[in-house]
Structure 1
């Protein structure tokens, strides 16, 4: 049977939308195929990956009804509590039913430790298991992307050209007047849209200590308070969460771009539980894909489906390079080692891998914390949790509407290291660009990293680019800051012993560039200053790690090697949008170099990380990608 509608009861939402807003309606969505024999032989577009980017692009391509689209997703439809609820949504990171979880390669500069690689594996992808934080990078981040193309021919990716897509991607709902008055929240609707089915909204209350922390951060000289979290400026500010205010449930790509479409679309098919093995080519034109059931271990019974106009890769930063390499697009030596026929020698595939490391500075405990319950203890206090759940179930209000704190500091190097930032930038800029990249890195990839190095050194000297992120949670203990622009670069490659079915080899190569150590020392000194010289000092902060007695730079870095986590689950860069002679994989139209009718639309195209978490940026990229694809249809 082909399912064309899905009832509210099946989604577990009976009564919710009826009681809490105008979204009460039958859910209509893409046609989901239960069997592979229901597939058409050919579609205009085949999209590999039904996650954040894939579903956004599919929605836009099928809206007119004139183009047929097939989305192939490795995971399945999933609507459990960890997916839907705002207040407990981050726990989806620990739910094995909605993700792939596997170890990275051992990290040589982290004492040989491995990291958890987490990839969303369900319809809706990682937008259904993230921390629901909605903030975008700084203007300078997107202007930097554009600068990598000669003569600024990539200006379509600068801030001014990206802002309309940030606005198109989100439906912004202002905070309540009570929330504004109590917390002094600044927002400006000119930076937001109101038409998307992806919602950005606010909880009904805040953890009370958040505003105290935010005020303390603003005591630091140079810390600004932007007019809106979406203004493209660093500083300390409030920001919304990806929550639908009609029911206070998570807003993500599946309800927003799959079961949130206006009417049933017979031209839009989805099939889940299928593993795409490779893209098929005809004279270097992408002709379709081969795939098998997710649980298969052999390609013996692989099926194929054709793409008339384009194959669109949306499998994410970890799996997009794996599939490209398995298809014959990648570094020549890697393809030869794996016995894969080469279609294009493209060394940038799987290179340039980046993520946001966290626990890159000291952690503090406020021993005189003034509130109960501490949000850290929220889920261990049975009485409080039961009361909060009852309030949420009855009224959609209370602590369970708080997704992740809704405030943070994104600070520039001149703010956090006013006497050292120029020295740090100069030392980094003077590096030989090949010195700390993987041995044997192709000269084109080195050239691209050199361009990034010059641009990031400039950003270090700027008050308009954020390097330091402090996630304000309103709790008695803080785990330490996040590094927004790591200078080390890793790799994602196929396992040459089993390129189609083995998990990819993911190497963050954390701290392989010593300039990251310079940043960590600066972060440590600043975080200590934040807790000991601002109004936070009155709450008796104690540095739990590494301890206030650890002051020498070498000792600070050595201690961080034992606890740094190289991923905040914001991986980017493995199919970078840069010129081909700079290690690029896609051009500014997101088309893969050296072939035709193949594009990439996910976070892997991001050349270097924005100074913010990646959810909002990925949605904007997907919206722009859809327009680019439609323009060449």
Structure 2
């Protein structure tokens, strides 16, 4: 049995809790130094660029860094948020993800859903990073990869349309892209032993921009996590990063162990760069729309319009080659819709002229929801090293601690009769689709069938169980054991109801619209309670604070759950990579259907929600996107396309299968061959009971 004497050193950090409330624009005294990082502070940019990237978040900065490696290619990034320099401490110190959060500040988009009928009509907040680096600058730093089964399912959904380029999204190729983004550093021997960490370095990247490791401080109770779950039949994963991302493990985090700071898209991909005259990054520049020309049915983006504020002047930047939209699951469909690309009925109702009727834009929205069991602790924390203001509590190693104990449990751990449960899901209910377009309905059915027939009765985790040692809404000296739905059958949509691009979109995730999601979440919470009651973890567990032992039967669980679940902050799929006849928005090369030179490359293109936090797959997606784009414009054959015949017809809705004309193609250059916020208790849902 491991000693638990220091268990709640970390939770006592909640006494430092504060939230940035400044609302100013960043003003830097180090203009020249920062300009060397390619960030433009004076607004002086060129009128024309080869590539304009709409969104300087996790994916956008990766792609900007990679594309600008070609010195004869010019790249502009337009980012709506600030640089983040004024809140550097909040970003860099890992523990401040919990105790000095950007939520609710000007560095957060402050999105919210519409009232959710299955959540007691609650409005649920969606924090998203409005800052250079996007959510990678503000999230919980979890670096978790999806499983091989899920990634290959993704490939299988787009393969019928393009059997060659779909191979970019096979597990083997996508794994290499994820590895390319990271430099993995194993934990120290002491941390490895104390936390019972298992890993295989051969699955990890060794020379990427993002540092991935483990906190420099741990707690004995974390070492009790794995044996507790093993005793409940959920084995330890010997290597959760090589395609078998299920079972129990201690996750790695986006932490730089050389100085114990957050490693994120800006610090990894942009700040270390020497000055590049071909790369400009403009903060405080909200993309308002794309400007198109239409010549003989060829719809081409010729410019990108942006503004600093809703009342400020609109500026158009000319585009020579491509526009790459990287606004995330909310921002990317928002940009397309305000550019006149999306469902015709939505655009007409919002007063936006229709450029191209693309019914799938904003559809297929999926998200992880979570709730937690909260306990008091039996451990006396009055003499914790933090409370005594010891040097350890103020060390960089200590302040690098972030929650890291997790378990991805499959359906057999949640229901007793899997066959009966699955048989109840055999019929797809088209009435749950928030669209009448037949292609969108077909896409919903394709995603549903893949989820039920390929992934439900598999080792893939249906629920994530998390140990939270950083305090809860019930106080610093409490433990949370969270349950988060990973493979939702419920899908929603995002749309606009005004032509004002500064107005927030309408977000309707349609939470728990499919009754099976309620059942799985209910069973996940039961399991979370069982974990808290099991040895050896239970030595630290005191009285249950929430929901309390009075909640015990299925009806009581469901009533409590619908009133208290929130989001795990992992929205995706709103510009889904699906065939056009299934409501897809992008093809296998990330090109937007119907447009010759526009791509989307972020979490919005995943066609299914992964059983994982989304930062690692977004980095992999961005790396793969950069490889595809550079190969296209440098006349390089992609590895997975070598020897394969070109597709007989383009899927981009035009005759230009490259996604853009090749006039002015660059000389050949050498290219590579080849996102997480924690759940928080929140909001409610009145839900139907799904019978096991």
Q: Give the TM-score band, short-chain normalised.
A: 0.7 to 0.9
DSSP 3-state at the match of 2:187: coil
Say yes or no: does 1:78 pair with 2:84.
Answer: yes
- Which of 419, 424, 428 does residue 425 from structure 2 map onto? 428
1:189 to 194, 197, 201: 201
Matching residue of 1:570: 570
In 2 relative to 1, CA 44–130 (structure 1 residues): closer, same or farther, beyond 3 Å?
Answer: same
Per the alignment, residue 217 of structure 1 pairs with 229
SS in 2 for 1:544: strand
Alpha-carbon distance in 2 for matches of 1:372, 1:211: 22
Query: Which residue pairs with 1:106 in the alignment?
Result: 115
TM-score (norm 2): 0.81
The answer as to 2:447 corresponding to 1:437 is no
C-alpha separation between the residues in 2 aligned to 1:236 and 1:229?
A: 12
Of the three residues 32, 40, 62, the one matched with 1:33 is 40
Alignment match, 1:128: 137
Corresponding residue for 1:517? Answer: 518
Which is helix-richer, 1 or 2? 1
Q: Which residue of 2 aligns with 1:456?
A: 451
Compared CA separation, residues 542 and 455, structure 1 to 2 (3 A) = farther
Q: When the two structures are superposed, what TM-score results if normalisation uses the length of structure 1?
A: 0.88
- Alignment partner, residue 64 of structure 1: 70
Q: Is the 8 A contact 2:577 2:606 kept in 1?
A: yes
Which residue does 1:363 correspond to in 2? 373
Match 1:296 to one of 289, 293, 310: 310
Distance 1:74 1:490, change over 3 A: same
CA pair 95-208 structure 1, distance change in 2 beyond 3 A = farther
Q: Which residue of 1 aligns with 2:286?
A: 275
What SS does the aligned partner of 2:228 have? helix
Once the 2 structures are TM-superposed, how far is the Cα of residue 340 of structure 1 from its aligned partner?
Answer: 1.6
SS in 2 for 1:119: coil
How many Å separate the matches in 1 of 2:129 and 2:620? 19
Range moving further from structure 2, 208-217 or 273-282: 208-217
Q: Equivalents in 1 of 2:104, 2:610: separation in Å? A: 27
How many angstroms does 1:461 deviate by?
A: 4.2
Question: Superposition pairs for residues 463-542 of structure 1, below 5 Å?
Answer: 463-474=458-469, 476-496=478-498, 498-539=499-540, 541-542=542-543
Judge conservation of contact 1:421–1:461 (CA < 8 Å) in 2.
no
Shift of 1:321: 0.7
Aligned-partner Cα distance in 2 for 1:594–1:493: 19
| Residues 210 and 473 in structure 1, CA contact (< 8 A), matched pair in contact too | no
Tell me the alpha carbon deviations over residues 436-472 of structure 1, each in whole angstroms, 9 at most, x when there is no partner: 222x442212111111111111345434211111112
In 2 relative to 1, CA 56–365 (structure 1 residues): closer, same or farther, beyond 3 Å? same
Structure 1: runs of 5+ lacking an equivalent: 1-7, 12-25
Contact 1:53 1:622 survives alignment (8 Å) = yes
Query: Do the aligned partners of 2:74 and 2:279 also contact (CA within 8 Å) in 1?
Result: yes
Q: Which moved more, 1:344-353 or 1:543-552?
A: 543-552
Q: CA separation in 1, counterparts of 2:428 and 2:556?
A: 23
Work out whether 1:258 is the aligned partner of 2:266. Answer: no
**Cα deviation digits, residues 220-251 of structure 1 (max 9, x gap):** 22434232445433111122211112211111
1:406 aligns with 2:404: yes
State the distance in 2 between where 1:466 and 1:338 align. Answer: 39
How do 1:329-344 and structure 2 match up within 5 A? 329-344=341-356
Counterpart CA distance in 1 for 2:346 and 2:39 is 37
Seen in structure 2, the aligned counterparts of structure 1 residues 9 and 382 have a Cα distance that, compared at 3 Å, is farther
Instruction: Report the equivalent of 1:117.
Output: 126
Q: Match of 1:96, SS?
A: coil
- State which drifts further: 242-251 or 177-186: 177-186
Is 2:447–2:608's contact at 8 Å kept on the other side of the alignment? yes
After superposition, the C-alpha distances for 1:257-314 in whole angstroms (9 at most, x for unaligned) are 11122x2110001111111110111111111211111x2336xx31111111100001
Question: Is the CA contact 1:207–1:474 (under 8 Å) kept in the aligned structure 2?
Answer: no
Q: Size of the alignment, in residue pairs?
A: 590
User: What secondary structure sits across from 1:120 in the alignment?
Assistant: coil
Cα separation, 2, equivalents of 1:461 and 1:54? 33
**2:59/2:326 contact within 8 Å kept:** yes
The Cα of 1:104 is off from its aligned counterpart by 2.1
Query: How far apart, CA to CA, are the structure 2 residues paired with 1:41 and 1:407?
Result: 49
Whole-Å Cα distance in 2 between the matches of residues 507 and 600 of structure 1?
21
Query: What CA distance in whole angstroms lies between the structure 2 residues aligned with 1:484 and 1:544?
Result: 25
CA RMSD between the two structures = 2.5
Task: Look up the SS of the partner of 1:46 in the other structure.
Answer: strand
Contact 1:530 1:536 in 2 (8 A): yes
SS in 2 for 1:98: coil
Contact 1:229–1:238 at 8 Å: present in 2 too?
no
Q: Distance in 2 between matches of 1:431 and 1:557?
A: 23
Mapped contact 1:209–1:474 kept (Cα < 8 A): no
CA contact (8 A) 1:297 1:501 kept: no
Distance 1:87 1:614 in 2: 20
Stretches of structure 2 that go unaligned for 5 or more consecutive residues are 1-27, 471-477, 634-692
The SS at the match of 1:599 is strand
